Structure 1
Amino acid sequence: MSRRDTFVFTSATLRDLRVQQELLDLETRRRALARWSADRRRFYPEARKIIIPRPRPGAEPKYCRDAAFHSALFTGDLDKIKCIFNDEATSNMIIETLNDELAWSPEMGLWALTPKLKYTSGLRITSGRGYTACAKLLLHKGADVNASPGGLSALHDACAGGFTDCVQLLLSYGANPNILSKEGSAPMHLCTTPKTFQCAKLLLEFGANVNILTRDSQMSPLHVAAQHGLEEHLNLYLCRGAHVCSRNREGETALNAACSSAEKPAEDRQYYRVAQMLLSGGTDVRVGGKKNHTPLHNACANCSYRIVGLLLQHGAAVNQQNCAGYTPMDCVLQGVEDYLDWQPEGIVLYLLNHGASPVNPKMLKLCSLSPRTMEVILNSYEHIPLCDSWVESIPPELWQEHHTFYSSVVQMNSRAIC
């Protein structure tokens, strides 16, 4: 290489290179913004022709209780809405509604239905019911897309209802995908059903933060998806960079949320797949939060047979105690009576085979209604313990049904004493 093909590497040269890099980065961001604007115009060509007026700062909002206005909005009557909401002022009116809610009445000493005034807007009502044409008309007339009378924005309502077209419309008109409600929830936190998947996808495409947390509980969208067993949402968030080890205010991960929400054994398969995805994503199976209640504690308490096996395969701590001093084995025994038809004996066997400590004989009375579970536990002892603590808790009809088993246990216990 000739001398003229090189340059002297000085601090000034380094600064010049950094400036050039910053200019290149700026140009990249400018082009990305241009592409986003082009996509917006492609979805809603009218958005590029309209300058949407915004309410003047300091302008007093108008309130409306007119039944005709309510009827037009709640039924999605486009013709009536065109006649009523014909300017910026009417399009931004705050709609007052009365709802009967249960409230404690000290005078009557009971719960009573009490009328409660609530606030919303025309854009919230139409977006929350999927009336896309009506919502578009209100936006065209000057409705504030980010207004949140009553504590929620139109985007919150559209996402909660799973109305993809309305979500697309609102975002294209500049709705903030990360706007927080009065309660501190972003629109993504309200995507809680399978039909909201496309809504969540749109929010992310328009810049929503996949790791945004609720204000109080510090729940992430990943926590919410895991809590509701939403496999598609979960996969979407993980692909978009969701923090799999993010903890809520109680110190629990999304895996804790999934295992605690699998309360119905019939949902075991659904939540099993959710737990499997989170474990594949690298979540810590031993995280127990502030109460030291681990995913294994939750899965055992809910008698989630498949999930318990999955957690143990990934190294769950089988003898870890929560803040109340209970182990996962204690949790499953306390729930045996509620899950007699869902293989509690299988979970007990799983735990014992993975090194669970021997069950305290005093706990036998908790599983006396499940002969199979009791048999598994008794087989783990070197000597049959005294049966006085549990034999009296067995109903006569159950004793009769499983007479052979119960009688043999009592006989073995009698021989051991002799």
Structure 2
Amino acid sequence: MAFDKNISKIMLSDIQYFKGFIRKNSHKINETNSWGLTYLMAACQAGNIDLINSLIEAGSDLDMKDRDDCTAFHYAVSGKQHTVVPLIASKGANAEKCNAQGNSLLHLAVETGCKDVVKAVLHVTENKSVQINKQNVNGDTPLLLACHRGNTEVIQQLLLYKPDVNLENKHNNTPLHWACSWGFKDIVEQLLLFGADVNKKDIYHYTPLHWACDSGHLEVVQQLLWSSKCCSKTSLTKADVNAVDSDAVTALHVACGLGYENIIKELQIPELKVNAKDIKYGNTPLHWACRSGHKQAVQQLLKSNPDVNLRNIEGNTPLHLAVLKQHYDVVALMLAQSQVELDIKNCNKMTPLLLAVSEGHLGMTHKLVLHKADIKAVDADNNNCLHLAVKKGVFHSEDETVEILDKFYNMLNLSKKERRSGTIVAMYLAYSGGHFHHKNKGDETPLDLIENPVLKQKMKTLLPSLCLLCEVNEPTVKFQPCGHTVTCKDCCLKIQRKTCPKCQQIIVEKSGFVTPKSENKEVQTPAHPSESKVLPTSRILGIKSVQLEIIKHDNPGNTEVKGFQTLRKWFTACDPEKRTLKTLRDALLEAECFEALECLPQTE
């Protein structure tokens, strides 16, 4: 308790009391508390010159250490007592000692940020060239600590003694790394003038340019990129804009990931490698910008004409990542680029559309459908977008609505809360051209994945039937006169039937290869269906119009004779090398003259 009382008296500058204590207790002049604090240490920290002189005269040990290996000299410096520094130096205190952290007096002086203390310490330091580059246990020099704190006046004091500006700490940080990280542009300029290595790498292989970009300091980036110009012959070089860290990340990657479009603009110099890929995921700067959702950064980067379709290790393009992260404005910007390929598949065979559906992003799905994404694309398991929609169950409720969904949940008599269910979205995708009868590798159709039997039956009544022959494709060919549309185009071409597979009625006319959307429209049958095929067939075979008019004039109303005379004219007038069944078959097929096709042999 007495010791603590005495320390309090010192801190209060009660000199008379303490001088009396010294006279009566000279044997206690070097006593300490549990930390190792002495009366002289406390007096030096308080800056009481009179008391310091009295203690030294009474026999206080100038070089005693506390538990942190700090002497009275260290206490004077930490207390910013610049007038005490020369005093105790003159009394023989050791100015070269370091504390337990390896900090010299100069380290501690720099940490105070007081230029007068720094100046005083430098003045009493004998071996200045050694002390100026002294490294503590972390490898930090006084200059590095000063750059970390951004004290320009202190740094100017240190630079007068020509320190090594490129000395690294244990993390390989140099003073320039710290100055760039904190954005101290005036300090950066001074360091460059004194020869700081602008491309020095730290333990993570970050250059000063990486740090400036990471912290968003535009003016520092400008200094580094043009240091060779602004610093004349003193600077080693300007910053390498393509330098990579331990993960092959460039400064451009960093700026793009953080959305600093102004810094991106500065980095866009001729030697910039705009398509550089990182090691971890193989992402380009454009991947980073799209993944982070920085529209302005993407917009600026596109001015360097990056490859917008490059795939990363997972096969994802920048568009994949923007879709995955639901960055609508970035997706819209990317879709506006003519070079963007909308249906590139990643390593799981997922297109951006399939990815949007699998993640349950309704608005993103709708946006991609509107931009004509391949609705029939399938993933590695042969799932189409309808499979993925049904499997997802519920889609995210985003701001963008798809009014067409109302139609389907009303048709299925579902509640409004089920509007964004996977089944309803699958119906919407089917309406947009998706295939509800497509089978995945598990031999399942999207319809098979619907667990509710009542809902499944309702949907079957709404879906188009399948071709009666292949049971895979939707029927598109309409037979006359029965009017049934029960086979697909492929089956109709492969299997030359004379009767309708549904009603067995003789087929007079196959009235066109209609699309599913036109299937419900009435097909107008001409009065003379066979005759309607004569003219296009004749033209395809190369018969002149004047010759056709002669045949029509000579054989009014007799379709069979007209057809025969037309074929005879072709047979006698054409090049013998082209006078083949294949030529005739191709012409009849192109003119959709199926009844004539059935009369031809299948082989030459």
TM-score by length of 2: 0.47
| Mapped pair 1:149 → 2:136 | yes
CA distance in 1, matches of 2:339, 2:91: 70
When residues 312 and 81 of structure 1 are mapped into structure 2, their CA distance, relative to the original with a 3 A threshold, is same
CA distance in 2, matches of 1:170, 1:300: 45
Describe the superposition over 1:290-343 as per-residue Cα deviations: whole angstroms up to 9, x where unpaired: 34321111111111111112222312111212233332122223322xx6xx73
When residues 389 and 84 of structure 1 are mapped into structure 2, their CA distance, relative to the original with a 3 A threshold, is farther
CA distance in 2, matches of 1:174, 1:124: 16
Please name the residue that 2:410 is paired with: none
Superposed, 1:9-20 pairs within 5 Å as: none
Please name the residue that 2:365 is paired with: 374
Please name the residue that 1:125 is paired with: 108
Letter in 1 for 2:223: L
Aligned residues: 321
1:139 Cα deviation after fit = 1.0
- Select 1:357's aligned residue among 321, 342, 346: 342
| Greater shift in the superposed pair: 282-291 or 166-175 | 282-291
The SS at the match of 1:191 is helix
1:199 Cα deviation after fit = 0.8
Please name the residue that 1:226 is paired with: 213
- Select 1:412's aligned residue among 422, 428, 436: 428
| Mapped pair 1:238 → 2:225 | yes
| 8 Å CA contact 1:129, 1:158 repeated in 2 | no
| 8 Å CA contact 2:357, 2:385 repeated in 1 | no
| Mapped pair 1:343 → 2:329 | yes
Letter in 2 for 1:300: C
Superposed, 1:201-212 pairs within 5 Å as: 201-212=189-200
The SS at the match of 1:224 is helix
Computed over aligned residues only, the root mean square deviation of the Cα atoms, in angstroms, reads: 3.3
Superposed, 1:387-398 pairs within 5 Å as: 387=386, 389-390=388-389, 398=397
The SS at the match of 1:90 is coil
1:155 Cα deviation after fit = 0.6
Please name the residue that 2:262 is paired with: 273
Please name the residue that 1:77 is paired with: 81
| 8 Å CA contact 2:133, 2:164 repeated in 1 | yes
CA distance in 2, matches of 1:67, 1:349: 69
Please name the residue that 2:98 is paired with: 94
1:128 Cα deviation after fit = 3.4
1:369 Cα deviation after fit = 4.5
1:181 Cα deviation after fit = 1.5
CA distance in 2, matches of 1:400, 1:273: 31
The structure having more radius of gyration, on CA atoms, is 2
Please name the residue that 1:288 is paired with: 277
| Higher RCO, Cα 8 Å, sep 6+ | 1
The SS at the match of 2:188 is helix
Give the number of the structure whose residues are more often strand, by fraction.
Answer: 1
| Mapped pair 1:328 → 2:318 | yes
CA distance in 1, matches of 2:362, 2:430: 22
- Select 2:178's aligned residue among 180, 187, 190: 190
Please name the residue that 1:57 is paired with: none
Please name the residue that 2:303 is paired with: 313
When residues 411 and 254 of structure 1 are mapped into structure 2, their CA distance, relative to the original with a 3 A threshold, is same
- Determine what percentage of the aligned residue pairs are the same residue: 22
CA distance in 1, matches of 2:136, 2:176: 19
Describe the superposition over 1:347-395 as per-residue Cα deviations: whole angstroms up to 9, x where unpaired: 5535x64313323443114664562x33321213254864453477586
1:88 Cα deviation after fit = 8.9
When residues 247 and 345 of structure 1 are mapped into structure 2, their CA distance, relative to the original with a 3 A threshold, is closer
Q: Which segments of 5 or more consecutive residues in structure 2 lack a partner in the other structure? A: 1-64, 228-237, 344-350, 377-383, 408-424, 437-463, 465-604
| 8 Å CA contact 2:86, 2:124 repeated in 1 | no
CA distance in 2, matches of 1:396, 1:296: 28
Give the number of the structure whose residues are more often helix, by fraction.
Answer: 1
Describe the superposition over 1:201-237 as per-residue Cα deviations: whole angstroms up to 9, x where unpaired: 10111122222333x4333222222222211111111
Please name the residue that 1:213 is paired with: 201
Describe the superposition over 1:69-124 as per-residue Cα deviations: whole angstroms up to 9, x where unpaired: 6654445333444445558963332123xxxxxxxxxxxxxxxxxxxxx4323322
When residues 92 and 361 of structure 1 are mapped into structure 2, their CA distance, relative to the original with a 3 A threshold, is same
| 8 Å CA contact 2:144, 2:175 repeated in 1 | yes
| 8 Å CA contact 2:210, 2:254 repeated in 1 | yes
- Select 2:118's aligned residue among 135, 150, 155: 135
Letter in 2 for 1:413: L
Describe the superposition over 1:18-70 as per-residue Cα deviations: whole angstroms up to 9, x where unpaired: xxxxxxxxxxxxxxxxxxxxxxxxxxxxxxxxxxxxxxxxxxxx995348666
